[in-house]
Structure formats: structure tokens, C-alpha cells
Structure 1
Amino acid sequence: MAAKRGLALPRRLFQRAPTPVAPRASSAATATPIRALSNAARGSRSDGFYVSKRAVKTTLLAGAAITGAYLYLDRENADRKEIRFLLERSQLSLERGEIEQSMKEQQKAFELLKTKFPEDKSKIAMAIAIGAAFEKTEHFATAVPFYREALEFLSLEPRIVYREDLRIMVLDRLGQCFKNAGDMEAAENHFKQAIDAYDQLKGKLSLSADAANEPSVLSKLDEDVLNVFLHYTVLLTTLQRPDDAARARQRLSSIARSSPQLRGQVAKIQRQVIDYIALEGIREQRKLQQLKGDEGSDFV
């Protein structure tokens, strides 16, 4: 399926969603789905610097396949086999275009995973995948509890940089869900939490001798927080707070300049911010026109 490109900067990691196939090899047990799920959570609309427009079905297929691969083990007990069976059924339902049925099966797998394997950190990936599935279909209020569960499970991830990067990404998605649902105060609160998490982590890393050992992870951290600032800037612009929006844009540019991977693209990033804000303005105008049209309709 061809992908329509949205706003996109070159990126080094996971440039395309993984091919959605059922897990077969034992090496799947060692796969880490977090990066791809991060992409999937931004899925089917132009929603940041590193996003492609993809069909809902393709995004959800990838999420189901990745989650299934994460749970695969050479020697599975009955409960884990049941989880994998439900995920495979979920994937088959998606292939048939039965999205609602697929999501029900994925949620059954999630409930079984939480009950039988409470210390399994793959709960994080599955909660994000289900939240993303609902967000893609514009069920924003339904997506929120799953993203919140993902936040609750983050303590299962022992690696601090990975854990806090996930926190930033999930808080960003929550902010976008609340914005799209019309709760601007909650949206701003979650964007601020994501920014605070980034600042606290960067402060800790500045004191750590190990920080230079994971350049790819740190690069992703900067990429993800740029999306937070982008979404926050759009929110502040929508709320007609130009001074706050200008400060958020200035911080965004500052982070890009300080990132070894992004500092050469600052001008391009700034142009994309302008373009993205303009696109959001057009979307808001269309929403207002639709509302006015509905109010003026003779149909009840």
C-alpha cells in the first residue's frame, strides 16, 4: 500500500513500519517493538515531524504483528499461547477489514496478559498499540485509558532513557487526544508533563558518564520532544496565546540546534513548524464551517 507523505524529516531509525507478518522465528522473542509503536501511535494523519500518512488498517496490522512478535517464545505455556492466538486472530480480522472485531480480540489478549503476566513489560507495548488503534479511528476518549495504563506500566522498563522516552511519547499522545476531544486545559497539562519529563531526564544524563553510550536513543528522545513542542505550539496558537507560542517555538529550535543529529536541519524544522501551524489553522476553519453548516441545516 502506498504511503502518502506528510511532514517528514529524514530519520535514521525505523524509517518504515515493519512488514505485518505473523511471528515465526524464535528471534522474535528478542524484538523490541517500542520504536515502531511510537511511530504507529502517530499513524494515519500528518501529526508531527517524522510522520507518514498511512491507512488505519496498515498501522493497526503493524501494531498487532509487532505485539505478537514481542510475546512470542520458543516454549509457551497455555496462557501465552492463548494470548498469541488472540493476537493472530486480531491480525486476520484486520486483513479482512473487520477493524472493530480485531480491536475486541486485541483487548481480550491485553486483559489476559495483565491477569496472567503482571510483571511482563510487553503490557506497555500492547497498551500503546490499543490506544493508538482507538486514536486512529478518532475514538479519542476511548484511547485515553489505554495510554494511561501504559504510563502506569512504565516502571516495568528498567532502562531509564527508554522508559522516559516512552513517557514523553505517551504524554504527547494523551495531549493530542485531549486536544482533539476539545479539552484544551488537559491537553496543555499533558504537554507540560512531557516537557518536564524531558528536562528532568536531560538533567540526569548531563551528570552521567554513560549518556554518550546511547546516541541513537538520545537522538530519538530529541525527536520525540520536538513533536511535543510542535503540538504544544499549535495548541497555544489555537488558544490565541502568541507570546507563549513564540517561547515554545524558540525552545523547539534550541533543542534542534543542540542535537548533533538535528542541528543541520534547524531552518527546515522551522519551516515545517510554520507549515504545520498553517495546516492546523485550515483544519480549524473547516471544523467551524462544518459546525455552522450543521447549525443552519433544516434536518434534525
Structure 2
Amino acid sequence: MGKKQLWYIIIGLLIVNIGTISFFTFSQKSSTAGAADTETVATVGGEKITRDQWLHELDERYGKSVLRDLIDKKVIAQMAKKYGIKASEREINQEVTMFKTVLNPSDNKESSLNERQLQEDIQTNLLLEELVTKDVVVSDDEMEKYYKDNASLYNIPTTYHVSQIVVPSKKDALKTEEALKNGSHFDVLAMETSIDADSAPQGGDVGYISADSKEYSDSFLKTVESLKEKDWSKPVKVEGGYAIILLNEKINGTKFTYEDVKNQIRRQIALEHLKAPMSPGNFWKDAGVTWFYGKSGEND
């Protein structure tokens, strides 16, 4: 299992987290019995859809996966405590940096990057990696070779998290700039006025780009480099019009040494040696799980 595959697991956890929050938000709003169950949430040609029907459908579609996710997180936390496994703040922050700069999370249009959720999911993933590899022995020679063979992975370029609003003319761009100065929200304006089909639905978010990106013009990149975090630019000429650029976050370039990533490499090599999939379900029996959908230890 490659490192990118592990990061896709983290993206999946983020999506499930968003679904969990939405699911339970809807459920909590309907906690009042009786009349609330028959409350109409929509009508179609005069036919009603009740809150009870809606929530039943949510439960049928997502209830099992949401509950499994909650169980898995508790299983990982309890098993990590049992075996004395921890994820340090330094390791978590290091993985967050690599996740943002190596695998652009905005490539996944279903997920909304949330810093707290990202850190929590990376911590959970690190603990799971440590749990499933705790009995695997990896030699120093093997780890050093892996570091040398994958040196570029640990050389992080300066990276910028950028949003943009692209409009047809400079006149439109000046109007957008004026609206921002008057208190309009950048993401709302992007969704309402930007002509960039990829970023507009994301509130203008184009994800993380490096200083040597080939996808953007020199003038665009120089403008990004000149901005302070949370500031937006003057109108910049781009293909198809003019852009107002917002710098959400800057990640300074760094090179992780072998000692910095030694433990990460150990886990990576160990995971590649394992034949069984990396799944919290492997620990359900040990954790004594029982749940609504089956007997203890049943997690399929």
C-alpha cells in the first residue's frame, strides 16, 4: 500500500466526517417525537415528504457507515492506549504538511478541507498504521535505502493555498475588488460571479500550488508570492479575463531529514510487507465491539 493510498484513506475519513456531522445535525433537529415526525420537509406536485421519511432514508443509506466510522475511531483509540501507542504532535504536523503539498486535497471536490478534522483524521490514521505494523521488524538499511530512493517526496517546495475570482474584464474585476472592500465574502462572490468552472463551485478554491507550478503564469505566481495570508490581490490578467487572488495559507519549503521521517518510513515499508488490509475491523474482536447491525466483531 503506497503513501498516496493512505492519504486517500484520510480524504475518505474527511468525507465521512462531513457526512457524520450532517447526519447527526439532521437527526438532532428531529429529536422531538410526534408532530415533528410528520412535519413536511418538501412537497412534489402536492404530495408531501415528511421529516420521518427523510430521516429513515438517511438512516438506510448512511446509518451503517456512519456508525461503523464512530466505532472504528473508538476501537483505534482504545487499542492504541492498550498497546501504549501514541502519535506525537510533530508527526501529525509533518503528515499534514506532506498531505497538503504532495497530494492536493482540493483535487477531491467532495471534501471540504477542515484543519481540525484533517489533524484528527491523520492522528487516527497514524495510530492505525502503528497498530497494524507494531510486530513488523524493518532494518535500518532498508529504511535508509527507501529514503534515498524517494528523496523527492521529502523535499517540500514552498506551497500556497490559493482561491481566485475570475471575471471577463478589468472593469468587472474592479467591481469585485470594491465589493470585497465593502465586506462581501470572497467565497460567496466566487460562486456568484467567477467564470472559472473548476474553482467557482468551490468558492474559488484552487487548492495548493507550488512556486514552480507550470499551470499558472509568472505574473499569477509572483502575485501569490507577494501576498500575506488572508489578503487578496489587485486584478491580475489571466487567460480568459482578470483574477482577484486570495492567499489562504503559505507553507514554507522544507527538506525532511532521514531522522525526521524514519518512523514514517518504517510504517510504510511494514505496511507493504503485510498481506492483510489495513483495517480497524481487525481489532473489533479484541475491543469487544457489539453493534446494531450484527454480533460482536462483525464489521462487514
Could you say which TM-score interval applies, normalised by the shorter chain? under 0.3
TM-score of the aligned structures, taking structure 1 as reference length: 0.27
Structure ID, larger Rg: 2
TM-score of the aligned structures, taking structure 2 as reference length: 0.27
Structure ranking higher in strand proportion: 2
Structure ranking higher in helix proportion: 1
Whose relative contact order is higher, 1 or 2, with alpha carbons under 8 Å and at least 6 apart? 2
